[in-house]
Amino acid sequence: MDSSYADYPQEFYDENLAAAPGWKVGGWPPWGRTDSIRLYCTVCDARMAPLLTIASFEWNGDELRSWMPYEDQAAASAPGHRAGQSPAQPTKVEAGGTDNMQLYVCRPPSPEHPHTDLIQ
């Protein structure tokens, strides 16, 4: 690590350590374009929990380079990787363009209650 965040350790934590980008099961959903939104079950009004995040990209170029796998760093920096072959998008899945699709489930889990989603 370099000293570029020496005066702002909280900013370093927030941008490089706090929330891993990419696909994930459970955990905490990424903060999107809007403030954090609590979702509630339409049947029982219980707060819903993150079930799955489907991300369009596993990392975002130089912005989240700390999450880039070491093995992919050379390919990501190459001047002309083939179109549609970005190392940051190994699944080639795009949710809403370049967003994240988040699926939520009723908590406590109730299989008969509907899931909901959020794209941002």
Amino acid identity of residue 114, one-letter, is: P
Q: Contact at 8 Å (CB) between 110 and 95?
A: no
The answer to whether 38 and 68 have CB atoms below 8 angstroms apart is no
- Could you report the per-residue pLDDT of 76-116, keeping only the tens digit for each? 666 655 555 677 787 888 888 778 889 999 988 788 999 99
pLDDT single digits (tens) 5-54: 677 777 777 767 777 788 889 877 766 666 667 889 999 999 999 999 99
**Residue 62: is its pLDDT beyond 60?**
no
Which runs of E-coded beta strand occur in the chain?
Answer: 24-25, 48-55, 100-106, 116-119
Res. 4: pLDDT tops 70: no
The full set of domain ranges for the chain reads 21-119
Q: Which two tokens stand for residue 6?
A: 């020496």
Contact 89, 58 (CB under 8 A): yes
